[in-house]
Chain A
Amino acid sequence: MTLLHFNIHGYCHGIKLKYFQIEPPDIFAYLESIMEAIQTQELTKQYRIGRFTKKNILALNKVSLDVHQGEIFGLLGPNGAGKTTFIKLLLSIAFPTSGSATVLGHQLGERALKEEIGYLPESHRYPSFLNAFDTLLFFGRLNGLPEQVLRERAATLLDRVGLSEWKKVKTKKFSKGMLQRLGLAQALINDPKIIFLDEPTDGVDPVGRKEIRDMLFGLKNEGKTIFLNSHLLSEVEAISDRVAILNKGEVIKVGTIEEINSQKIVYAIQLSAHLPLELEEKFKSSLPSVVLSENLLTVTLNDKSELNSVIDALRNANIAIEGMTQQKTSLEDYFIQLVKGDAQ
């Protein structure tokens, strides 16, 4: 058996690679597995406003992001932050002004890349004269799937999204929620490795949302990468492994939900007596935020170890602690603070 020997000096996912040997057919699978699903370097997009003006608007400004394979990645941002533009650039629906990106190791626009992706746009429109089954057949044909495979897959997907009983009904009779489900089936018709979903639960009722969430978890378990654009923060929080927050075309935060939520630790401490002024000044100079209201001290900590210092300082000042609660910061709170520029 032929073995290929590699001498690689560098880091991969934090592990120093120096030397390894691997069978030839596996090298491609290995390289593919360590590759980032999406990698962007300073991706920038400027749009011209109007046809006859030279005014430009900066939709994306030097966005650099890495999305790992097999994760659910949520892109959050207020309206007009550039979330949809980001997806459009990755799918070559629009072209970047500068910067570069790869998706599954392919340069943007490559046909091979589009064969491996699924996409559910925000306001998708399906041909009203086609029924659900024929809609899937049409989009499957655009993916170049053989007719027999396509028919089987379309039937399976309609079943998976709960529309099998509606397969022969024209899409013009579908509700918004049903169209979302059909859109999801359409995005999966080519069995993609990476799925871009722009507001996938928009217009879907709570039960439907839960079903879509479960389906996304199922897809993740199948090893698929899911890139999710949504303004429903609780939803993103519930299903995403990592999130990025985009505001005014710039990435202002990237991390896991835990990392983002634990950025600020807030404790409310009920004191037995009024906090002396010098101690208040001391806390204010060392902690991110200190709010004193009567005998209730609310402190924001950089990490939990600072809590002990606060308690020690209070005890040294002979102030008893009558009660203490940790205040949870939801992703929504953090998002609002961040977007408003309150958080750093």
Chain B
Amino acid sequence: MRFWGMFRFTFGEAIRKGTLIFYFSVATIIILFFGFALGHPADDPNMISMFGKPFAPQQSSGFNIAEMILIQLHSSSVFWIILFGIFGVAGLVPSMLEKGTIDLFMSKPLHRAEILLARSLGATAGIAANLFYFFVGIWLVFGIKLGVWHWAFLSSSLYVVFAFACLFSVVAIAGLTTRSSGFSILLTIVYLFIASLLEGREHFLFRLSDNTIYHNIINGLYYITPQISGMLNNSSRIIGNNPMSPVEFTILPFVYSLGSTALLYGLASWYFMKKDF
């Protein structure tokens, strides 16, 4: 009840954030665009049309064009979703720590770790609601207009939500230690940059030095931090094979990230529990 109360409140606060309202509006425009644009020409059900004009055959060179559009939509949208997400909810942890707010929360019969967890899950749920709105909307448009009921596309949204929940552990630690929304956003974006370097470490970081210890440190960092880039890349691979990047889906980044996220939330909770306000 208490945890649910805090979760519900944070969710309400998150979805009212201006950034997420803007994201919601953009998502609506994209859904409506595809809703009006996509279809089949009346004389050729195997052809996909855009605004009534033939665009491409549904099956081409062994690839499903609708599926490829979905993969492209997914890959290009998740970056913005994560970015909007960070800007939208990164302030939820520092705002909780403001004088007058934290005093009230702390005086209630909730464990400090419960407050932090409810806050983190509430923020993630706020992002998830927006994200599901976009994915379900697109999924319905492709299903209704093209007859493509792509369940893998729909399920890929769960992986993106999971990736965001992992990223929020970084946001939470940054927010708790800096108590500033701005710094929290900045540190999280820096982390995203580092995470993408770690993900492609073989192409860049390993080439900087042949030292084995250096390689081990880089590998260690890669495994003990949430693998955001790996998870986001893999979340689009579940939709189908991208002919431009034919790599198979793997669950490993999600498994590793689960551990590292638990570790980061553990650290954040420990810091939060011993802190004077």
- Give the interface size class of chain A: 20 to 34
- Assess whether A129 is interfacial by the CB under 8 Å rule: yes
**A186–B9 CA distance with the chains assembled, in angstroms:** 16
**A139–B101 CA distance with the chains assembled, in angstroms:** 11
* Pairwise interchain contact A88-B277, C-beta atoms closer than 8 A: yes
**A125–B107 CA distance with the chains assembled, in angstroms:** 14
* Pairwise interchain contact B104-A186, C-beta atoms closer than 8 A: yes
Given A93-B277, A95-B276, A111-B109: A138 touches B102 (CB 8 Å cut-off): no
Given A124-B100, A143-B2: A119 touches B107 (CB 8 Å cut-off): yes
- CB A229 to nearest CB in B, in angstroms, measures 12
**A92–B274 CA distance with the chains assembled, in angstroms:** 10
Write out the residue numbers on chain A whose beta carbons fall within 8 Å of the beta carbon of B8.
141
Given A93-B103, A141-B2: A114 touches B276 (CB 8 Å cut-off): no
- CB B130 to nearest CB in A, in angstroms, measures 17
Write out the residue numbers on chain A whose beta carbons fall within 8 Å of the beta carbon of B106.
91-93
- Looking at the complex, which one of A47, A91, A142 makes contact with B110 (CB distance below 8 Å)? A142
- Assess whether A144 is interfacial by the CB under 8 Å rule: yes
- Looking at the complex, which one of B2, B103, B109 makes contact with A88 (CB distance below 8 Å)? B103
Instruction: Indicate with 1 or 0, residue by residue over A172-196, a CB within 8 angstroms of chain B CB atoms.
Output: 0000000000000010000000001
For window 65-114 of A, CB contacts with B under 8 Å fall at 88, 91-95, 111-112, 114
Given A138-B9, A141-B5: A91 touches B107 (CB 8 Å cut-off): yes
- CB A101 to nearest CB in B, in angstroms, measures 15
* Pairwise interchain contact A119-B2, C-beta atoms closer than 8 A: no
Write out the residue numbers on chain B whose beta carbons fall within 8 Å of the beta carbon of A337.
none
**A138–B8 CA distance with the chains assembled, in angstroms:** 9
- Assess whether A221 is interfacial by the CB under 8 Å rule: no
- CB A115 to nearest CB in B, in angstroms, measures 5
- Assess whether B53 is interfacial by the CB under 8 Å rule: no
**A27–B111 CA distance with the chains assembled, in angstroms:** 31
* Pairwise interchain contact A143-B100, C-beta atoms closer than 8 A: no
- Assess whether A243 is interfacial by the CB under 8 Å rule: no
**A144–B111 CA distance with the chains assembled, in angstroms:** 13
- CB B144 to nearest CB in A, in angstroms, measures 35
- Looking at the complex, which one of B2, B5, B9, B99 makes contact with A127 (CB distance below 8 Å)? B9
- Assess whether A33 is interfacial by the CB under 8 Å rule: no
* Pairwise interchain contact A114-B98, C-beta atoms closer than 8 A: no
Given A129-B16, A186-B104: A94 touches B109 (CB 8 Å cut-off): no
Instruction: Indicate with 1 or 0, residue by residue over B251-271, a CB within 8 angstroms of chain A CB atoms.
Output: 000000000000000000000
Nearest residue in A to B107 (C-beta to C-beta)?
A119
- Assess whether A157 is interfacial by the CB under 8 Å rule: no
Nearest residue in A to B277 (C-beta to C-beta)?
A93
Given A123-B99, A124-B104: A144 touches B2 (CB 8 Å cut-off): yes
Write out the residue numbers on chain B whose beta carbons fall within 8 Å of the beta carbon of A115.
109
Write out the residue numbers on chain B whose beta carbons fall within 8 Å of the beta carbon of A144.
1-2, 109
Write out the residue numbers on chain B whose beta carbons fall within 8 Å of the beta carbon of A146.
1
**A125–B99 CA distance with the chains assembled, in angstroms:** 8
Instruction: Indicate with 1 or 0, residue by residue over A221-238, a CB within 8 angstroms of chain B CB atoms.
Output: 000000000000000000
Number of A-B contacts (CB under 8 A): 80
* Pairwise interchain contact A125-B98, C-beta atoms closer than 8 A: yes
- Assess whether B90 is interfacial by the CB under 8 Å rule: no
**A127–B98 CA distance with the chains assembled, in angstroms:** 12
Write out the residue numbers on chain B whose beta carbons fall within 8 Å of the beta carbon of A249.
none
- CB A153 to nearest CB in B, in angstroms, measures 15
Given A111-B109, A129-B16: A119 touches B103 (CB 8 Å cut-off): yes
- CB B108 to nearest CB in A, in angstroms, measures 4
Nearest residue in A to B109 (C-beta to C-beta)?
A114
**A96–B4 CA distance with the chains assembled, in angstroms:** 30
**A259–B8 CA distance with the chains assembled, in angstroms:** 50
**A74–B265 CA distance with the chains assembled, in angstroms:** 41
- Looking at the complex, which one of B99, B101, B104, B274 makes contact with A119 (CB distance below 8 Å)? B104
* Pairwise interchain contact B99-A139, C-beta atoms closer than 8 A: no
- CB B95 to nearest CB in A, in angstroms, measures 9
- CB B112 to nearest CB in A, in angstroms, measures 9
Given A47-B276, A127-B9, A129-B12: A114 touches B107 (CB 8 Å cut-off): yes
* Pairwise interchain contact B5-A93, C-beta atoms closer than 8 A: no
* Pairwise interchain contact B277-A114, C-beta atoms closer than 8 A: no
* Pairwise interchain contact A114-B103, C-beta atoms closer than 8 A: no
Write out the residue numbers on chain B whose beta carbons fall within 8 Å of the beta carbon of A114.
107-110
- Assess whether A200 is interfacial by the CB under 8 Å rule: no
CB-defined A-B contacts under 8 Å, sample of 6: A91-B103, A114-B110, A124-B101, A125-B99, A139-B108, A144-B2
A sample of 8 more A-B contacts (CB under 8 A), given A88-B277, A146-B1, is A88-B276, A93-B102, A93-B103, A95-B274, A129-B16, A141-B5, A142-B108, A144-B1
Q: Which 8 A-B pairs have the closest CB atoms?
A: A141-B5, A114-B109, A94-B276, A119-B107, A142-B108, A125-B100, A121-B103, A123-B100
